[in-house]
Amino acid sequence: MATAIIRRDRHRTVADPWWRHAVRTLALMVLFLSGCGAPDKPPLRVATIEWIGYQPLNIALDRGELPRDDIRLSHFTSNTESLRAFRNGNVDVAALTLDEALLLRADGHDIRVILLMDYSHGADTILARPGIATLAELEGRRIGVENSAATAYLLARGLEHGDLEADAVEVVRVDAGRHAEAFRRGEVDALATFEPIRSRLLQEGAVELFDSTRIPGEIVDVLVAHRSALQSQRRHLSDLVNAWFRALKHLEQDPVDARAIIGRHTELPPEHSQQALDGVQFPSRADNCRALANHGQMLHDTTGRLAELMRENDLLAGGVELDTLFDNQIVKSAACPGKSAGHAG
């Protein structure tokens, strides 16, 4: 016979039938097992660097816009390191230049560009030591450049503008994390670099020979995601994109506080932070919605020309499939009210 379970009421003691005890026990087991089920999804890992155009990510981070349990920023010293982390699967998303996204696609990585972050408009530069006044004077000089990154592309375009062949200069591979050090120590005569390194070295007397205002629209920063992350981390990606646009709004509405945050992450004083910010243009929500719609059709011509220029300068081998490179499903869900434009699968 089943043993009766005794329950204390305020007024009397009664015996519960055995089946009520069984139901309660089963319910407790279900609750216990549901608590020990599959763990929550791992956080979305996002690669970023000190580049001024990525600083809205740090604004979002410092203002608590990024749920720390869901989205983690991984700070690297250069896009070369970010690329390596992305290729090795150590991050799910990376802030990169569009030419670097093309390199990933050419290497066979199934990636999607899900956000246009910024256009460089002066923030990428070729600096020289005092006494070198023109691009032509770089002939025979040592030029520091990061390997296989946007600075290599910038240098190639700068040499074209200076009517110099690629073999007219001595290219010295210098990781972005050592750009300023290599320049200060005289290891190079010139440097293809970017903000905030640009502002620091200009304050120390460097001479600017060439910048991205001379090649408008060619150096674009984008947010790149593994295709698999578009489904497995869709909510976190939407949160990330929404946080990005809230950070841009804060930069516009409270520039003093935003510059103070940027200063903490770049070691630039507020006035130099603004100078660095002047060298980039941030596409708005509406800009992103238009540009990424219909498989990024608006971007195909520009991206195709970029790929061709990279091939001409031996920075890209072979063709790159552009039809599925751009995907608007995240920016559409996060930022585009009432839009029905298609997206790449």
The answer as to whether 345 is a domain residue is: no
Q: Which one, of 223, 188, 148, 241, lies nearest residue 197 by Cα?
A: 188
pLDDT at 138: 97
How far apart CA 116 and CA 49 sit, in angstroms, is 16
Return the minimum-mean-pLDDT range out of 21-25, 202-206, 295-299. 21-25
Q: Are 124 and 212 in contact (CB under 8 A)?
A: yes
Q: Is the pLDDT of residue 252 over 80?
A: yes
Model confidence band, residue 338 (pLDDT cutoffs 50, 70, 90): low
Q: Which of 192, 214, 236 is the last residue of a domain?
A: 214
Whether residues 57 and 158 fall in one domain: no
Whether residues 113 and 151 fall in one domain: no
Q: Which of 160, 192, 214 is the last residue of a domain?
A: 214
Distance of CA 80 to the CA centre of its chain: 12
What integer is the mean pLDDT of 253-266?
A: 94
Q: Which of 214, 247, 280 is the last residue of a domain?
A: 214
Identify which has the larger pLDDT, 270 or 39: 270
Tens digit of each residue's pLDDT (9 = 90 or more) over 133-184:
999 999 999 999 987 567 888 998 999 999 999 899 999 999 888 999 999 9
Q: Which one, of 134, 196, 138, lies nearest residue 171 by Cα?
A: 138
The answer as to whether 344 is a domain residue is: no
Query: The CATH number of the domain where 151 resides is what?
Result: 3.40.190.10
Model confidence band, residue 25 (pLDDT cutoffs 50, 70, 90): low
Whether residues 228 and 143 fall in one domain: no
Whether residues 111 and 133 fall in one domain: no
pLDDT at 74: 96
Burial of 284 (0-12, 13-18, 19+ CB in 10 A): middle
The answer as to whether 132 is a domain residue is: yes
Identify which has the larger pLDDT, 66 or 6: 66
Return the minimum-mean-pLDDT range out of 104-108, 269-273, 298-302, 335-339. 335-339
Torsion of CA 218, 223, 227, 231, to 10 degrees: -150
Q: What percent of the chain has pLDDT over 70?
A: 85
pLDDT at 1: 39
**Tally of structural domains, the chain:** 3
Range of the domain at 210: 124-214
Model confidence band, residue 335 (pLDDT cutoffs 50, 70, 90): low
Whether residues 230 and 245 fall in one domain: yes
Return the minimum-mean-pLDDT range out of 42-51, 226-235, 311-320. 311-320
Task: Tell me the C-alpha to C-alpha distance, in Å, between residue 40 and each of 152, 232, 233, 326.
Answer: 41, 12, 11, 29
What integer is the mean pLDDT of 304-324?
A: 86
Q: Is the pLDDT of residue 339 over 70?
A: no
The answer as to whether 88 is a domain residue is: yes
Phi then psi for residue 62, to 5 deg, are: -65, -25
Burial of 123 (0-12, 13-18, 19+ CB in 10 A): buried
Statement: the pTM of the whole predicted model exceeds 0.95: no
Whether residues 73 and 50 fall in one domain: yes
Tens digit of each residue's pLDDT (9 = 90 or more) over 70-114:
999 999 998 889 999 999 999 999 999 999 999 999 999 999 999
- The overall average pLDDT reported for the chain is 86
The answer as to whether 24 is a domain residue is: yes
Q: What percent of the chain has pLDDT over 90?
A: 67
Whether residues 69 and 174 fall in one domain: no
Identify which has the larger pLDDT, 227 or 11: 227
Whether residues 68 and 169 fall in one domain: no
pLDDT at 17: 52
Return the minimum-mean-pLDDT range out of 12-26, 238-252, 322-336. 12-26
